[in-house]
Structure formats: C-alpha cells, structure tokens
Structure 1
Amino acid sequence: MIVLALDTSGTGCSAAVYDSEAAVVLGRSGADLGKGHAERLMEFVDEALAAAGRTLGDIDRIAVTVGPGSFTGIRVGVAAARGLALALGKPAVGVSTLLVLAEGLRAAAPGKPVLVAIDAKREEIYLQAFDGSGVALGEPDALSVEAARERFSGFEGIVGGSGAHLVAANIEPKPPELIDVAIVAELGALADPASAKPRPLYLRGPDAKPQAGFAIARA
C-alpha cells in the first residue's frame, strides 16, 4: 500500500509518501513554517511525490494528523486529505498527534509507558498516556496544569512533548516538537478507514471568538 501522509497540526507543514509493504518512506518534503500551511501544503505534496517517483494516481490511502494542535492547521490538513480522497476515490484516515508523539517516545524507550503532554497555552495541557505496547490508557484530554500534575503525579514512565515540563517538575522546558510525518504514514497504513475517519480532534473551543457587535444580520 502506498500512503500519502500529511501534517499541518503545528508549526510544521509536511508530506510523505510511504510504502507499507516495504516499510520505507519513498519521499518526503516540508518545513517549519509557523503560518501559511494552506499556501504551501500542496507544494510539499508535489515535492514528496517527485522524490518518491510517484504520482497521485499511485496513492492507495491518505493519512492526516487530526490534532490536537493548531485549529487553523488542523482544518487545512483535514480539508486537504478529504479533498484528495474524494478526487482519487481512495480512503482517508485520521491520526492523533498524541499517538504520533507517543510512538516517537516509545521508539527511544521500548517497552516503557509514555505520557504525551502538549502545551495548549492558557495554562492548559493536551495529554494522553499509553502503556509499554502503545495501547492508550484513556482518552485524550485537555486539563489545567494543576489538574494534570495531580492526575499524573505518580506516573511511572517517559513523559514527553512540549508540555512535559508543566507536568513533571524535573523536566527542562523544550521547544515544541515537529510531528514526524513518517510516523503519521506508518500509523495511517495500520488504521481502519471505517473507524479512523479524518475528523478534527480539537479537545477545546477555539481561542478566537466571534465579536457579536460586528455580526451581520441574516436576511
């Protein structure tokens, strides 16, 4: 199976072409943009396909990160994945950013439980714990820093992600990690299209709120 993986869930914007039978990334492209994902994503898709020596017609499945993360970025990626799936007549699947980060942590410490914590700003954290085999130990959640510390005070395992220092006092703050689009592709190849629909996973409401005073009355 040839998988086209997309990530726009954070500051990074990337695409990869993955051969699941050979378990190898055939081509990838991307950059840490900060903003402008919508303008650059298809450029990176074209570059990844060119590097892989493939065309969109060769793609069997599209995988995309669905969050939690940047509201705007998630919308861009999910919309692109759905559009490509419709145009190609191929399935699209969604992959959680928490699961992607967990798999990266597990690769560095095989067999150990992991807790992924993403700094959601506003004194909140997105988090989810996984056992040593990568099975989720609960649903993804958005908690206050205080509530997260209390819930996971006795966690025995690896704590990682941009919010790790907010949960565990002995961890130094680090810049937000870029999502590894190769892991997105691997997880996307394993996902069940019937249950892993590409739906945004926001966990909380958007930071930007409509200004009622500037609303336009409907005719």
Structure 2
Amino acid sequence: MILVIDTSGPVCAAGIYDAGSNALIASISETLGKGHAERLIPMIDEVLTQAGMTLQQMTRIAVTVGPGSFTGIRVGVAAARGLALSLGIPAVGVTTLEVVAEQVLEIGPPAPVVASIDARRDEIFAQVFAPDGEALTEPGAYTYDDVRAIVARFDGILAGSGAAALDGVAHDADAYPLDRIGRIGARLPDDTKASPVYIRGAGAKPQVGFAIKHV
C-alpha cells in the first residue's frame, strides 16, 4: 500500500493507493489555500481510518514535489520524509509535470507530450515526455514563445493549464489526482528522492531556451 500526499498547490490531499489492484482505496482532499501544515497530519490519520489501515501497513510514500507552491511543497516533502524515516520505507517524489503528462501518456499517445503548468507572471512550467513516459527534457520555467517552440520542435501534444494560458483562456488550476500520483509513485525506483522541485526563486526570470535531457 502507498500513502499518497499532495500539498503542491491550494489543495491538501492524502490517499491510500493499492498498487496491486491499481486503485485508490481511500482519499481526502480539501482546498485550503493556506494551512497545509496544520491539516496534513490529521488528514493522513483520517484517510487511514477511512481505509481501515495503519501507517505500518504502508510500503512506500509518494509525494508531489513541485513545481508548485513553495510552502506547500515543503510541508508535503517534510511530512513524507519524516514518516518514511520512522517507518523504514521509501519516500519517492512525483513531479506535478509528471502527473499532468500521465493523463495523456496513459492512453498511448502517438507523439511526445509537453506537460505544462501555468506559472503566472507570463511563464509556463514545462517538460517533454516521450510516448513511453521517458523524460526528454528537464523541467523548466519558460516564456510563452519558448513553449510554442518546444511544441513545434518535438511535434508534441500540449497538456495542462499552460495550453489555456497560451490561448489567453481563463482556466482553473491544474488538478493532481491522487490515483495518478500513486500510479507513478508505484513504478518509480525506491531511491527516487523526495526532493522539492522549485525551478525558480522569487523574482527569477523565465528560462531562456530549453535543455535536452542528457542520457
């Protein structure tokens, strides 16, 4: 069983994912905006009660590591690491861009997927994934024109809120479903670090150009 945690945005969520049946068996999700630190641990207790399970039955923890809210990411990662250390199980980090890409990758796309998240300030967080899920670029913060160039270069399928941002369309924040986080977390190696992915700091400028992942 996998304890799934997402505090990367305004939503605070926890769930129990059964990798054997490929299903989310319990979940709680609340839109808080702020207050993740105070709510997360009680929420984990609640979801365990809902599932009729204990922390000792968890075999790993999957937590979203960003890009997203600086404060939220720190809360989720710290909780995941602390619980994993006390339980002696792995805590693996799942990026929000991986979750955005998963909704397209799971249907077997005919082309690479450009996962994108509206980062505001005329920026878009983006990363390119091959149809088999392999990351072809590193995650980065890009200008709108750079994202258009990335899509053109890879002849990619643009997914996520960045697509609406490019079109100037009003949109909700990206959702990061716990079942997808759990599914990704289940297939990651045990040594995948649960380390924050911030991409940019306060006042940072958009990344210029884009980098192909070295293999």
Identify the residue that residue 186 of structure 1 maps to in structure 2. Answer: 183
Structure 1 vs Structure 2 CA RMSD = 1.9
Asked if the contact 1:27–1:51 (Cα under 8 Å) also holds between the matched residues in 2, the reply is yes
Amino acid in the other structure paired with 2:133: G
Amino acid in the other structure paired with 2:145: E
Asked if the contact 1:116–1:164 (Cα under 8 Å) also holds between the matched residues in 2, the reply is no
Amino acid in the other structure paired with 2:165: L
**Alignment of 1:68 onto 2:64:** no
CA displacement 1:78-116 (0-9 Å, x = unmatched): 000011011212111111110011102333x43233211
CA displacement 1:49-88 (0-9 Å, x = unmatched): 1121101111111110011111111001000001101121
Identify the residue that residue 27 of structure 1 maps to in structure 2. Answer: 26
Amino acid in the other structure paired with 2:38: E
Identify the residue that residue 45 of structure 2 maps to in structure 1. Answer: 46
Runs of 4+ residues over 4 Å off in structure 1: none
- Number of aligned positions between the proteins: 203
**Alignment of 1:202 onto 2:198:** yes
Structure 1 regions of 5+ residues with no counterpart? 209-219
Amino acid in the other structure paired with 2:19: S
Q: Normalising by the residue count of structure 2, what TM-score does the alignment of the two structures yield?
A: 0.87
Shift of 1:207: 5.3
Asked if the contact 1:128–1:136 (Cα under 8 Å) also holds between the matched residues in 2, the reply is yes
Shift of 1:158: 2.8
SS in 1 for 2:199: coil
Identify the residue that residue 147 of structure 2 maps to in structure 1. Answer: 148
What percentage of residue pairs aligned between the two structures are identical?
A: 47
Shift of 1:156: 3.3
Amino acid in the other structure paired with 1:198: A
**Alignment of 1:94 onto 2:93:** yes
SS in 1 for 2:65: strand
SS in 1 for 2:118: strand
**Greater CA radius of gyration, 1 or 2?**
1
Amino acid in the other structure paired with 2:100: L
Identify the residue that residue 212 of structure 2 maps to in structure 1. Answer: none
CA displacement 1:12-49 (0-9 Å, x = unmatched): 11111112122222211111222211111112211211
Shift of 1:154: 5.1
**Alignment of 1:159 onto 2:152:** no
